[in-house]
Amino acid sequence: MQDQKEIWLFPVHVAEGRHWLPTAIVVGGTAGLIAADPQIEPHLRQTTAFHGFNRVFTSTVSGGLIAVVPAAFYATSLIRKNSYDQSTGLLAGEAVVDDTVLMVALKSITQRLRPTDIPPNGSYADSFFQSNRSPIGKGTSFPSGHAMMGFSVATVFARRYRQHKWVPYVAYGLASVISFSRITNQAHFASDVFFGAAAGFAIARFDVVRQ
């Protein structure tokens, strides 16, 4: 509940002059990609360059990795009776829950069509507030839940084990691959993934781990 309080009070903090620079970067980057999405998406529809990559990193595989890695890590820590590792697994789960609340709220508001909802020769410029799939935004596009949760989990591990130089590279590398697959699979626009990754990082870094 404390996490949620901080998340929903974030606009107030920005209005008070805090965090304005990273917020401006994320908002500006998201806006720029939203403008570029109609030019990016037709190329992804036409290319065959990512077919092999997409067969490996399907939606099920990507979501499974995000769920299984923290769960397996926590189970292993119970067996090893390592309280620090147990806490890491629980913090990763906490971050995913926080992500889910924000994701559902944003999806229900934006109701953005997924790229695959739009005919190949259709217009990608008018995708917001067009989906009628669910009042809570299930199956809609903005933001990417996979990117949000992937970067949250990665940030928890990267921060908790930053003394091991390789951990951040592996954690963020895997999160980046999962996020990129959401674009190449045409499940999300690039702007969905960029904003989701940034939000997931911020939630884990400033609301969950705080170290």
Least confident of 13-22, 48-57, 67-76, 184-193: 13-22
Q: What pLDDT, on the 0 to 100 scale, is given for residue 198? A: 97
Give the Cα separation of 192 and 182 in Å (integer). Answer: 9
Query: Could you list the residue range(s) of the whole structural domain that residue 47 is in?
Result: 2-209
Q: What is the CA radius of gyration of the chain?
A: 18
Which of 7-16, 132-141, 196-205 tops mean pLDDT? 196-205
pTM above 0.75, yes or no: yes
SS3 track for 4-73: HHHHHCHHHHHHCCCCHHHHHHHHHHHHHHHHHHHHHHHHHHHCCCCHHHHHHCCHHHHHHHHHHHHHHH
- The number of folded domains in the chain is 1
Give the DSSP H/E element, type plus range, for residue 67.
helix 59-80
- Per-residue pLDDT of 92-139, as tens digits, reads 999 999 999 999 999 999 999 999 999 888 889 999 999 988 888 888
- Per-residue pLDDT of 45-84, as tens digits, reads 889 899 999 999 999 999 999 999 999 999 999 999 999 9
Give the DSSP H/E element, type plus range, for residue 147.
helix 145-160
Residue 134: which CATH number? 1.20.144
